[in-house]
Every structure is written in structure tokens, then in C-alpha cells.
Amino acid sequence: MVMQRLRTMASAFAQPEARTLFVMGFACGLPFLLVGPTLSIWLRESGMSLGAIGLVAYTGFFYVFKFLWAPLLDRWQAPGLAHLGRRRGWLLAAQLLLMGGLGGLALIGLDTAAMTVFVLLLAITAFAGATQDTVVDAYRIEIAPLEQQGTLAATYSLGYRIGLIVGGAGALYVAEFWGWRVAYLVMALLLLPALLATLMAREPERTATLHTQPLLAFMIGPFVAFFRRFGWVLGLALLAFVGLYKLPDQMLGVLAGPFYLDTGFSKADIANVSKLYGVWIGIGGGFVGAFAVAAWGHYRSLLIAAVAVALSNLLFIVMAFHPGELWAFVLTISG
């Protein structure tokens, strides 16, 4: 019985769709840090102020608000790429924009005279990355039946995690030895396998039900249903809770890299502790969260986690009082 289940699992992971989702997951994870925490280290090293870095980091909010244009991707074909189908067409368009954006950032660099163009390219790159995330999620759901979704989600998550490591630690290692422009150019080239996977993948079968509603009704329908269920007061409170729960941590994450530099750590140190060790701490935290939910339920666990996140940020004070001390860095990331 056990061997049969193992063979079934191995067969599921060997499916072409699983391999495709692994590559697409990598392509989704790779740019996420390149337009946020990794970029902030480049900006700080070039002499940019923390205030300016914080403003530039707002381009990463495309990832937060990607739900706004997701319905348009559901209804319209990508211009000039309709022959690939709705999902693959938008996916290829997003990946081409993503590669072009990262490559453009590498070619322009942080030349003060071209800073406006640099920020514009950064915004395009973040928009393309968020769009790619949206389309890949839809592709994963539509490409296989419900019983295969667990396998596809697992392979996607594995690829995404590896992409995060490469976009974080990998980019920092390359930048440490060959400079930032080379690092971003290498990251752009690493998206080529995803582009090829998109061209070789099959398009999901589509139903015609998506086109029966007017566009406005299609876009606002979920919000109307949400507020009908919870009411305006509770609905707005829930949306505010979801939106603000991780916002301080998200903004601090962008400015953490410059802080690490200012306290005397090299790019290699940041890669080792924050981007490699920190990934495993994050995975361990996920297991702790699962045990907490099982023991205390969702609401109490959320409250405890919110307090813990706020308190853990106080560990940055320890780093400030012990600049360049590796143990303080490890302690802060462990929190």
C-alpha cells in the first residue's frame, strides 16, 4: 500500500505540468526580491538616502494591488499573442517585459542623469512580475483537475522558494564579485527557461462562462458579494486587517538591507544570514504557525503572531548597538 502511494506520488510529480509549474514558480520568485529588498541594497550602496529608497520601494506595491487588473487578464487576449491562448499569451508578454525590465536596469545602472528612466523601468518590472504571478496562479488552477492541485502547488512553491534564494542570495553573491549591473543581467537571463516553458506548455481548456457578465459587473461582483456577506463595518475592518497586518513588516523588509550595510555587513554576509539562513527560519516559522493554529485556533494565533512580529522588530535595536557583530545579525533574523 505504501509503495503504491509512493509510486502514485512519483508519477504525479513526473507529469509535464508539474515540471512546468516548477519553472514558472522559479520565475515568479526570482524578481520579487529584485524589485524590493535586493534593490534597496544596491540603492543604498550607491549613496541614496533612506527616504528616497522608501519612496522607490513603493513600486513594489504592484504586487499588493495586482487584483485590480486581474479581471482584465481573464477577459482579454494579450495583443499580438492571441495565437498562444489567453493564459500563455499574457504569460509570455509579462515574461518579456520582466526580462526587458531587469536587463534595462542592468544596462542603465544608477546614473543620476537617468534616474527617472531607472525608476520607470523598475515600475514596469514590478508590474510585469505581479502580472506573471496572477497568470501563473490562474494557469495552475486551470491546467489540471482538483486532485492534482496539491502536486502542482508543491512544485510551484518549491520553484518559488528557489527563485527567492537566487533573487536574494544569488544576486548578492554576483554583485559582491562582479557588480550590480552584471548581477541584474544574470537574473534577467535566468528567466529564459521560464520563457521557453511558456512556449512549450499547453494552453488550458477554457469555458465560455467568463464572458457572460459585463466587465464592470465582473470586476466589482466579488466586492459586492463580500460586503453583502459581512456588512460595511465588518467588511472594511477585515480588509483593513488583511491589508495592514504585514504592511509594517513589508516596509521594514525593504529598508532592512540598507540597515545591514550601515551596520557594517557586506553583501556576502547579508546573503548568508538574511537570504539563506533566513529562508530556513521562515520555513520553520511556518511549521510553528501550523502547530499554533492546531493548539489555539486561528484567532488567538493571529493575535499572538501580530504581537510577536511587532516585538521581533525590536531586535534591530540590538544590531544597532552591536554593529558588525554576526551574532546580533543572526539573532535578529531568527526573530
Whether residues 267 and 146 fall in one domain: no
Expressed in angstroms, the distance from the first to the final Cα of the chain is 42
Burial state string for 261-281 with b = 16 or more CB within 10 A and e = fewer than 16: bebebebebbbbbbbbbbbeb
Percent of the chain with pLDDT over 70: 89
Question: CB within 8 A of 208, min separation 6: which ones?
Answer: none
Whether residues 243 and 188 fall in one domain: no
Give the pLDDT band (50/70/90) at residue 249: low
Residue 47 DSSP SS3: coil
Report the alpha-carbon distance of residue 120 to residue 233 in Å, rounded: 38
Domain limit, last residue, from 134, 168, 203: 203
Whether residues 262 and 145 fall in one domain: no
Residue 144 pLDDT > 80, yes or no? Answer: no
pLDDT of the residue at 167: 95
Whether residues 295 and 162 fall in one domain: no
Whether residues 155 and 272 fall in one domain: no
Give the pLDDT band (50/70/90) at residue 127: very high
Query: Taking residues 153-168, what's their average pLDDT?
Result: 90
Query: Burial level of 3, CB count in 10 A (0-12/13-18/19+)?
Result: exposed
Whether residues 187 and 309 fall in one domain: no
- Total tally of structural domains belonging to the chain: 2
Whether residues 199 and 66 fall in one domain: yes
Residue 231 pLDDT > 80, yes or no? Answer: yes
For residue 178, what are the domain limits?
A: 14-203
pLDDT of the residue at 149: 74
Whether residues 88 and 163 fall in one domain: yes
What is the pTM (predicted TM-score) of this model?
0.84
Whether residues 263 and 327 fall in one domain: yes
| pLDDT tens-place string over residues 104-121 | 999 988 876 688 899 999
Whether residues 247 and 301 fall in one domain: yes
The answer to whether position 210 is within a domain reads: no
pLDDT of the residue at 14: 61
pLDDT of the residue at 233: 86
pLDDT of the residue at 208: 41
Residue 305 DSSP SS3: helix
Q: H/E/C letters for each residue in 112-148?
A: HHHHHHHHHHHHHHHHHHHHHHHHHHHHHHHHCCHHH
* Rg value, the chain, Cα: 21
Whether residues 30 and 123 fall in one domain: yes
CA-wise closest residue to 33 among 332, 197, 270, 195: 270
Whether residues 145 and 241 fall in one domain: no
Give the pLDDT band (50/70/90) at residue 207: very low
Query: Taking residues 170-191, what's their average pLDDT?
Result: 95
